[in-house]
Structure 1
Amino acid sequence: MGILFMLLYFLIVALVIEISVIAFMLTGLEKEVARYQAVSMLTSTGFTTDESQLILDHPVRRRISMFLILFGAFSLAVIISAITNILSDDLRLNKLIMINGVLLVIFIAGKTPMTKKWLQHRFDYEMKKNLDLSELPIKEALFLNKDDIVTDISVEEHSHLCGLRVTQMTEQSRDINLLFIQRGEVNIRKELSEETIQAGDKLYLYGDKHEIEKLAKENESEKPH
């Protein structure tokens, strides 16, 4: 009876994970990322900083993650208790079977196109209601291709970039966009094309990784005298 109890409860955990994966996918996460994050939150392990921003910056995903974290803590207590009482007859198997049945129905319903469409509509509504522009995950907003990155470059005193106008640096042949220049305590965003790059500037860039790497090498090379 104890082994059956454990198997039924692990089935509940598996169904909760799969239902959460469906919910995460409906908010735009890829399946592999969604499953990894669901397992990570449920077990409180491996919740990576990079991908965790995709969860923390999204109001709907935050709610799903809170449920998974609480369910994971509750599950740990239940499993420890079950192991302690493994020989006990009072394991309430009928209730566990009912819970498995309900979760199985929810899981199957969540896979249907009609339910997915309804949930997606609800999630979109929650996004419009709760998500401020400042909360938009930068990875989802800007990383459109696998080679896209957002990074910064500090301009050295003898850098080849010193004295260049921004339009010269981000010429049309380059897939690079300058988001803003940090000059001391001032962030320059307006009329960037009119700016001339100075030593000590920190350039915040978005674009193709390989093009930005080339630009970084130019920054390291000394300006000819």
Structure 2
Amino acid sequence: MRTVATFIICLIIFMIVIGIFAIMFKLTGLSIEKARFQVISLLTSTGYTTKESELIAQHPTRRKLASALMIISYVSTLTFISFLVNLLSKSLINVKSIAAILIFIILAVIFLKSQLLESIENIIEHIVEESRLWRKLNSRYINFITKHKGYCICEVYLSENCDLIGSSIRDSNLLNIEIKVLSIDQGHELINFPMPDYIFRDNDKLTVYGNLHNIKHKFH
């Protein structure tokens, strides 16, 4: 029974890891549904479509999180297999162990559908967002795609203290300093050639074309 209890504890830890990493992916701009899907896919090594994988590959913070999840996935897979072999080899699968696992699964499903989960996620999200480690991990940057004669195309990640947040493309006056927004990646949605009334949000990734000096000055 001790082995079964240890196995259940490992499952609880596994669920906690999914929850925390889903929140961190959400903070990079993904919807919580896509964030959970990405985490479960990475932990179970099931993979996903090329379009969805680009959501991870194109974002620096998501790549770091994905790398950590791949390591956790490797360790957890080995742990799960060792527990399973241990259960089978020692003939520990009996009515009590099966009942304990079923009760745990039922309680887990009830918890996942309760309002308590959302409250706990909100608390964890606030703690993660305010932590110094997360701010360091989720640093924004300018990624230059091409440069030519003082002009460039580049990707820009908007930080929470960027003065563009909350203003529209029209009101930002970017065109006045020779900066044109070509696309906006919100994580869960890519907006090509956004309308002038689009309101910039924290964690938006912009693809812009314009004056190299002005882009560096504006977004640094």
TM-score, length of structure 1 as denominator length: 0.48
TM-score, length of structure 2 as denominator length: 0.49
Which has the higher Rg, Structure 1 or Structure 2? 1
